[in-house]
Amino acid sequence: MKSDPFIPQTESTALLFIDMQERLLGAMPEDISATIAKQKILLEAAKLLKLKVIVTEQYPKGLGHTTEELSSIFDPKWPVIEKSTFSSLGESNVRSKLNDSAVKTVILAGIETHVCVLQTAIDSIAKGYQTVILTDAVNSRNSIDKETAFITAQSAGAVLMTVESMLFVLMRDSKHPAFRSISKLLR
């Protein structure tokens, strides 16, 4: 059976921004700063592209809220949804936000790659969404966990891309209204 071609459109794409919380960040490796730098670009670009964005926080009472460094970039219209399930799609409010729109493609960024990101990817694929994991916008405490999660997700049908590559796929043309602004973000 031939699958649909991978051609995401901004109006039918949602970004799930998963669990970038203070207490979880403290357990991440030193390269988390590079991950956060890519996520900042992604969040700014999501506003420029008018992407649907859903933010999740895993048990914020115990793990804190999304780090201020990232939450300060959020558009006030983006919902921040508390969850207890590892998969973001295990939370009914996330599923209803996706179902209430014409989303066909789900982009994933956040932590940890081998737990919440991977389980969200598998559930997203099972629900029929084209699913993209941004490899430079996710992280895990151990690199072997992250790399194994990429293999698992890809074998389940996820597409692996970088932030920059995904943004250019979404713009598709240098005449896109956000092209200049996003190009500046990427420099």
For residue 102, tell me if it sits in a domain: yes
Domain of residue 27, CATH code: 3.40.50.850
Based on the structure, what is the number of domains in the chain?
1
**Using 50, 70 and 90 to split pLDDT, how confident is the model at 3?**
low
The identity of residue 121, as a single letter, is: A
Q: C-alpha distances in angstroms, 84 versus 19, 28, 75, 80, 109? A: 11, 20, 24, 13, 18
Of 4-8, 120-124, 172-176, minimum mean pLDDT range: 4-8
**Which active-site residues does the annotation give?**
19, 83, 116
Q: What is the mean pLDDT of residues 47-65?
A: 96
Task: Answer whether residue 114 shows pLDDT above 50.
Answer: yes
For residue 2, tell me if it sits in a domain: no
For residue 3, tell me if it sits in a domain: no
Q: What is the mean pLDDT of residues 60-70?
A: 95
HEC string of 15-39? EEEECCEHHHHCCCCCCHHHHHHHH
For residue 85, tell me if it sits in a domain: yes
For residue 31, tell me if it sits in a domain: yes
For residue 60, tell me if it sits in a domain: yes
For residue 1, tell me if it sits in a domain: no
- Summary mean pLDDT of the chain: 95
Q: Which domain holds residue 60?
A: 10-186
Q: What is the mean pLDDT of residues 19-23?
A: 94
**Using 50, 70 and 90 to split pLDDT, how confident is the model at 170?**
very high
For the entire predicted model, the pTM comes to: 0.95
For residue 4, tell me if it sits in a domain: no
